[in-house]
Each structure stands twice: as structure tokens, then as C-alpha cells.
Amino acid sequence: MVKKDVEKLLKKVQKPARYTGGELNSVVKDKNNVKLRYAFCFPDNYEIGMSHLGMKILYSLVNAREDAWCERVFAPWEDMEALMRENDVKLYALESGDALSEFDLVGFTLQYELSYTNVLNMLDLSGIPVLKKDRTNLAPIVIAGGPCVCNPEPMVDFIDIFLPGEGEDVTNELIDLLIEHKEKGSTRLEFLREAAKIEGVYVPEFYNVYYNEDGTIKSVENIETAPQRVKKRIVSDLDKAHYPKDFVVPLIDVVQDRTVGEVFRGCIRGCRFCQAGFIYRPIREKSPETINEQCRSISDATGYDEISLCSLSTSDYTNIEKLIPMLFDWALKENINVSLPSLRVDNFSDELMEELKKVRRSGLTFAPEAGTQRLRDAINKNVTEEEVLRTALKAFDGGWTSVKLYFMMGLPTETLDDIKGICDLAQKVVDTFYRNPNKPKGKGVQVSVSCASFVPKPFTPFQWEPQDTADMLIEKQKVLLSSTTSKKIVISYHQSDTSVLEGVLARGDRRLGEVIYKAWQKGCKFDSWDEFFDFSKWTEAFNECNLTTEFYANRRREYDEILPWDIMDYGIRKEFLVDENKKAHESVTTPHCRIKCSACGANKLNGGKCDARN
């Protein structure tokens, strides 16, 4: 429900439907009939936020309660923000049109580090004090969840409560508690004291951090009711966990606009560079029946003509060969397309291939991640060149003519030989195409090589590693470009300054709060967007705070250094990560979890259970 003063602005902005609400399946309640109002904020634009599965799950979960109403909020685009500031219109939630300051809980999802300044900007646009120390009332309480919460320290100045891990259960517990304290008329501090007692609730103001002279952390002290370490929450049984029966159907084109079936959580692979592969452990699978039924319900309720299965490595799902025919059985009849992203090269069976041929052909993508076997072993990407080529051949047989290969640059232990190896591998894929007698007639092949810069992340075996500097990466990019002359190979790579900032924020400590605040004051927002990203402003902010990006990004940390994220307990044992780091430097692989459990420790979060091994 957009208010009249907003409607006037909408006539002057691009894509006004970003700001209207009123989409199909959006939930409108009577605010007088609920005890708690929750504004779920995605710190990026509508198109990106509306594509996010976690938001859909929590929106539906909270709205399933009679006593609470969850609404959606996205970061307004530049044109809308300017008009809002000019006309003193406060940031509002799409369902009610009410300003965020009227809510009890304002929750942000922190999906990527480069969205942090948008959190500040959205609070400011709402008229909520950006710094948590300036917020004195019980409501609104500003909370945050999402993968970046595994190291929330850079954001502690702005957020009251972080919820590490999966939000389903703890959100409900927190809502119950806040309702109770609202009714009691408690103070903010009284509420926070009780909140900190809930497992999986991190109240940063109950921790004092002390530093050594060199800027590393000396000690961390927990005060009040706070535990020494905060253990992340997980949902134990995904078949019983809440899943939406419908999705809000956007009126404009968004990034992901389709039925999404969540297949499992966690990942069996243990690629050493991949944070998601560690922070979502242990593995928990959903039954094919549940997934099928959930996809059916959402497709019926939305009218979507596409289903995608979403998990870290979907084809590792034990029942994939059972699930796909189940979905195809009804979906094809109704002209619904089933797409399977992130398929892995190494378990692409003939049967799966046949099923895939039935649906529209999208591009085929592989992620070898590194150019040589030695480096692939070091990062534990257990894919061999032979497997890549064999699958490519299979794909070419199946009629595919374009292949996308994903790589990373700046990986620990990487040398220029590894960079050249990227082009060698791409060339071998091209050769495979031309050697294939069954290749589609009259067609050429195109191999796109996409190179991202590696950013070391917390809770991975590479959390101690120095990140390549921008100069080092530029040098490597030059080598990469000069390593091939083939017109069949197209190379693209990621800009490097954003990865520097991403790396700094990912492994940063509390002192970065001031840097983020200053950068935002200088106008930084939408940092993940090339058209907005301005590294010079960030550099100024670092200088003003007497901090350097090198300290956070390019320094090798000792195994025994106290890390800012040691406060968080994600179930992964540090000794396991140290072992994995050592093995990386020796280019020794670790078998994936289905072959052998490496005792990462995460199964303890689920009473010793881990679906990788059953």
C-alpha cells in the first residue's frame, strides 16, 4: 500500500513497480491485529532481493504466525533515494507503506560484504539512528542474519543482534521474546540480556575486544549474559522445516523469477576456497517426495514456467536420479521447464544427460576453478582434466556448442604456470570439440573462460592466507590474456578493487565499523555495482581511521592468532581447518564426505548426524 506522497514520486522514477508492493501472494495483515511487526530488509535493489530464497522462507515463516506480520524492504535505487530525501519520504515496507521506524524488528540479510554500506543507508533513509549506540528504545531492534554473519565484527556498530546459522527456529524464539518484553514494557538492555541467553543469538555489545600493539586481537571478554562463543543454529530435519507454499510473484523482471526447490543444505565436497562449503555443514537432505511436493505447490500458486533446484552442488544429491523424473512427470505436461544449475563435471551420468536433453538447452558450465592439477589438488577441487574433457565430449555429443569454464585467480600457492594452465585447459576443450566426429554440423565452438579473484574467507582452510594484492592480480591477468590467441576462447575477469574491499570486510574486526561509517558518509553505497563502486572514497576512509587494507587482506595470519570470528562457533573444528591448510600447501587432497568423513566437527550441531554418511 503506497501512500499518496510516494505515488507522486513513482511517476518520476525508473521501474516504479519496484516500490509499489501489491504483488501476487504478498501478505497484507491488519496491523492492529498483530503483536509484532517485522521488516525484512534486503540491502540491495528489488530485482536482486526478490530473487533470494532465504528471504522467501523467512517471510513465509513469520507470516504463518497469527501474531506477527513480516513485510519486505529493499534498497531504493539512486533516483528514488534522491526523490525520497528531497521530499522527506521515509523508507517504507512494501506491504503496508509504513516507515521502518514503526516496526519492532528490522532484520537485514547479509549475503555479501559489499552490501554493508546499503544497510547503513537504509537505516538512515528510515529515520532509524544508524549507530546502535544512538538507539535507546526497545523497538526497533535491528538484527542481521545470512552467511556474512559468520564474521559480523565489522558491522557490530550498526546491528543489535546477529543470528548466525539458519534463521528458522531462532527467529520464532526471538519474536516470542520480544513480544513478551514489549508487553512487560522492558528496556532495550533488559531485552538484550534475555536475548543473549538464546542459543544462536549474538549480542555484540556484550563483548569487549582488546588489541595488541600490532593491531591483532589480544583477548575477547564476554560480559552480562553472553556466552563465550555463540553457536550457530541449524534446522535438524529439512522435511519438517518450514518451506513456503507460494512465492511473492514480482511484477517486474527480477534476477531469479521461478520456482525454487531447495534440495539439501551443506556440501560434501570440501573445496578449500569455498566458504559456503563449510559454513552450511553438516549435510542435511530433503526427501525427493518433499521437494517434488514443494515445487508443485509453488508452481501452482505462482504460475511460474520454470523450476530450478537450489543447493550448493545439486547433482550430489543422493536421490537426484529419482527426483528429476518425478518433477518431469508433471512439469513437462504443463510446459514447465526444469533447470539444474551448478552441475558438477564428475557425476554427470548418461541417464541424467538424457533427461536434460528433454528440456531447453541452456549453456553448459563447468567450474574447474584452477588451471593445473597441482593447484586443483591444493584447493581440493577434485576434478581431473580427463573428467572435464570427457564430460565436454559428452556434452558436444548431446548438441551443446558453447561451454563456460569458471576459474579463480589469486589462489594460495598459485604460480604463473597455473595461470597459463587455464588457457591450456580451455584449448583442450576446443580441441575436443573439433576431434569429435559427432559434432553438430556447420557449427563452431565457443569456450568462455570466466575468472574471478579469490578472496580468503573465514571458516575455510584459507582463512589465514594472504590475499593477492591488486597489482599481483593485474600481472596475472596480463599473463592470462597473453596465453591464448584462439578466437574460440573468450576470456573475462572480475575487477580487482572490489575483491580487495570484499576481502578486508570478510576478515575484518570491529575497528572497521568506523571505516564503513565514514565510507557511507562519503557517499559509498551499492558497492557491488560497478557504476557505484568508488574505491578512492574507501581509501580515504581507511586513511582517516589510520587503518590499512593490507593489514586485513594481504597479511599471513599465524594459526594461533585470535581471529575476529573466533567468537562464532560454526561447528567446524579449528584443528580440522589447520590440517586442511597444511594439506593445501602440500597439494594433498581430502576425499569428499561421502567417501570418508574427515571429522570436521559439524555433525555435533545435529546430534552427531550428517547426511553425507548414511
Partner 1 sequence: MPEIKKWAMEVRMSFEKTGMAKFISHLDTVRCITRAMKRANVPVWFTEGFNPHAFLTFAMPLSLGFESLCETVDFRLLEEVDLNELAERLDKALPVDITVKEIYVYETLPNDIRWAEYKIVFNNPDELLLERANSVLSSDEIIVLKKSKKGRNKVEKEVNIKEHIKSFELTEDNGKLVLNTVLSSGPSININPMLLIGALVKDTETDEQDVDIIKVQSFTENMEIFK
Residue 127 interacts, among partner 1, ligand SF4, none and using kind-specific CB cut-offs from 5 to 8 Å, with none
Output the smallest distance, CB 561 to ligand SF4, in A.
Answer: 24
Closest to 108 measured CA to CA, from 92, 119, 121, 95: 119
- 179 vs 251, beta carbon nearer partner 1: 251
Interface pick for partner 1 out of 98, 194, 305, 579 (rule CB under 8 A): 305
Residues 33, 335, 485, 536: which binds partner 1 (CB under 8 A)?
335
Q: Exactly one of 5, 22, 210, 354 binds partner 1 (CB under 8 A); which one?
A: 22
Nearest to 377 by CA among 366, 389, 369: 369
Helices (H), 226-349: 276-279, 288-302, 320-331
Q: Residue 393, interface with partner 1 (CB under 8 A)?
A: no
What is the DSSP pairing of strand 284-285 with strand 264-265?
antiparallel
Among 303, 325, 399, 444, which residue sits at the site for partner 1 (rule: CB under 8 A)? 303
Q: Taking contact as CB under 6 A, which single stretch among the options 346-354, 387-395, 413-421, 596-604 is the one that binds ligand SF4?
A: 596-604
Does 399 participate in binding partner 1 (rule CB under 8 A)? no
Report the residue from 16, 129, 227, 398 that binds partner 1 according to the rule CB under 8 A: 16
Task: Check: CB of residue 68 under 8 Å from CB of residue 34.
Answer: yes
Shortest Å, Cβ 269 to ligand SF4: 9
Using CA atoms, how far apart are residues 423 and 420, in angstroms rounded to an integer?
6
- Residue 383 within binding range of ligand SF4, rule CB under 6 A: no
Instruction: Name which position in 131, 189, 255, 332 contacts partner 1 (CB under 8 A).
Output: 332
Which of partner 1, ligand SF4, none sits in contact with 600, Cβ below 5 to 8 A by type?
ligand SF4
367 binds ligand SF4 (CB under 6 A): no
Segment near ligand SF4 (CB under 6 A); pick from 33-41, 320-328, 481-489, 591-599 = 591-599
Beta bridge partners, 207, equal 222
**Contact with partner 1 (CB under 8 A): which of 24, 131, 189, 474?**
24
Asked if 597 touches ligand SF4 (CB under 6 A), the answer is yes
Taking the least distance from each CB to partner 1, the nearer of 21 and 204 is 21
Q: Which does 215 bind (CB under 5 to 8 A by kind): partner 1, ligand SF4, none?
A: none
CB of 277 to ligand SF4, least distance (A): 9
Cell representation of residue 157? 556498530
Q: Which of 226, 512, 516, 610 is the binder for ligand SF4 (CB under 6 A)?
A: 610
The conformation of residue 223, written as its DSSP 8-state character, comes to: -
The verdict on 394 binding ligand SF4 (CB under 6 A) reads no
Segment 163 to 202, residues that bind partner 1, using CB under 8 A: none
83: contact with partner 1 by CB under 8 A? no
Q: At closest approach, how far in Å is the CB of 592 from partner 1?
A: 37
Site string for ligand SF4, 226-265 (x = CB under 6 A): ----------------------------------------
Provide the β-strand partners of residue 339.
308
Q: Are 489 and 531 in contact (CB under 8 A)?
A: no
Residue 380, by phi and psi: left (phi above 0), alpha (psi -120 to 50) or beta? left
Indicate which single residue of 177, 249, 490, 545 sits in contact with partner 1 (rule: CB under 8 A): 249
Q: What is the rounded CA–CA span in Å between residue 468 and residue 496? A: 10
**Contact call for residue 300 and partner 1 (CB under 8 A):** yes
- CB of 378 closer than 8 Å to CB of 413: yes
Position 602 contacts ligand SF4 (CB under 6 A): yes
**Per-residue contact flags (x/-) with ligand SF4 for residues 87 to 116, judged by CB under 6 A:** ------------------------------
Which residue from 140, 308, 283, 126 is spatially nearest to 609, judged by alpha carbons? 283
Name the one range near partner 1 by CB under 8 A: 3-11, 108-116, 140-148, 509-517. 3-11
Instruction: Round to whole Å and give the CA distance between 318 and 46.
Output: 35
412 lines the binding site for ligand SF4 (CB under 6 A): no
Q: Which of residues 267-286 bind ligand SF4 (CB under 6 A)?
A: 281-283
CB of 420 to partner 1, least distance (A): 40
By CB under 8 A, name the one of 88, 134, 214, 253 that touches partner 1.
253
Residues whose CB is less than 8 angstroms from the CB of residue 267 and which lie 6 or more positions away in sequence, other chains included: 274, 276, 277, 280, 281, 283, 311, 312, 313, 316
Amino acid identity at 10? L
Can you list the positions of beta strands (E) in 163-231?
A: 207-211, 217-222, 230-231
The C-alpha cell of 370 is what? 584452477
Of 405, 519, 411, the closest CA to residue 472 belongs to 411
Q: Is the dihedral of CA 295, 296, 302, 307 positive or negative?
A: positive
| Interaction between residue 472 and partner 1 (CB under 8 A) | no
**Is 593 among the residues that bind ligand SF4 (CB under 6 A)?**
yes
Q: How far is the CB of 324 from partner 1 (least distance, A)?
A: 17
CA dist., res. 216 & res. 585, Å (int)? 24
- 240: which 3 cell numbers? 519438517
Q: Is 200 left (phi over 0), alpha (psi -120 to 50) or beta?
A: left
- Write the secondary structure of 91-148 as one string of H (helix), E (strand) and C (coil): CECCCCCCEHHHCCEEEEECCCHHHHHHHHHHHHHHCCCCCHHHCCCCCCEEEEECHH
**Binding residue (CB under 8 A) for partner 1 from 108, 162, 191, 304:** 304
Q: Mutual orientation of helices 535-544 and 496-506 as an angle, nearest 10°?
A: 40
Q: Which is nearer to ligand SF4, 437 or 608 (CB)?
A: 608
Give contact residues for ligand SF4 (rule: CB under 6 A): 281-283, 593, 597-600, 602-603, 610, 612-613
Q: Which residues bind partner 1 (CB under 8 A)?
A: 2, 8, 10-12, 16-17, 20-24, 249, 251-253, 300-305, 332-335, 360
